Structure 1
């Protein structure tokens, strides 16, 4: 699946959105940001996350989400929940909603607004289920989906960005 072009030369901004910004979207944010950095694209790609609701604004990630990330070698300790604002449509090149309800809440699907799992090689377009009311297994399943999709997104970034953005001297 191809990426929409950047709004600004030299920069690509991705926003990940779920309901409260304490489980799914921060997990995706942390993993995608790590994959972007590992691919050498951190100077060109920015990842942010938010929730459609404001209940958790300023709160850290759900402890189960943080523990699941930590067990996989990721650090989610810097995360603080934020609420999605309509300005994100103009500030981001790509918005990725975690499920169909989140997608509807942020204005529905467009070239720049898609489901996170539209990049899933196993189940393209499926929802990332909300693990909040379940146990640890749900968080592990979300992490597996996030890792798979993040790999596909970074692969697409790596092939798309050199033609869209100025090349880095070390590339």
Structure 2
């Protein structure tokens, strides 16, 4: 859901032509599967594209990403454990991994930094997740713009 929201916001507010957005999980249980039908329904009802096929994020991908977003602290820990050690030339891959809600300045996001997995919930749980995702977008977009400015013309991947 977060990838769909980010893609649309990049298309609306820019810089979509400078960013590649990918979606991947930390486990391969659903690799190749389409998005959950409730997620699709929630996205479509809010005007987002809902095309998606699940895949697992692999350690070899870190060098190709300027930013890796985790939706909850469990995924954050798994991604940090998966990240290779820094080679000393930059702060290292673990510094590129951020929680999505860290981009949301609201006190609620600070108190509850996770976007909960709605899989075991009902349609309302998916709608609540979408609201959390949307609230983080302005801050995430600002960070992406900063990364692009720092890269001085090199397309990044989020």
Unaligned runs of 5+ in 2: 82-92
More strand by share: 1
State yes or no: 1:132 paired with 2:126.
no
| TM-score, length basis structure 2 | 0.81
* Structure 1 or 2: more helix by fraction: 2
Structure 1 vs Structure 2 CA RMSD: 1.9
Unaligned residue ranges in structure 1 (runs of 5+): 1-26
Over 3 Å counting, the alpha-carbon distance change for 1:138 and 1:126 in structure 2 is same
The answer for the alignment partner of 2:103 in structure 1 is 119
* 1:82-115 deviation digits (Å, cap 9, x = unpaired): 1110112111111111111111111159320111
- How far, CA to CA, are the matches of 1:52 and 1:160 in structure 2? 24
Which of the residues 14, 36, 41 maps onto 2:15? 41
Q: For residues 51-85 of structure 1, what are the alpha-carbon distances to aligned partners after superposition, in whole Å with 9 as ceiling and x for unaligned?
A: 11111111110000000000100111x21001110
Cα deviation, 1:103-143, whole Å, max 9, x if unaligned, reads: 11111593201111111121147011010001111101100
Superposed displacement of residue 164, structure 1: 3.5
Corresponding pairs, count: 140
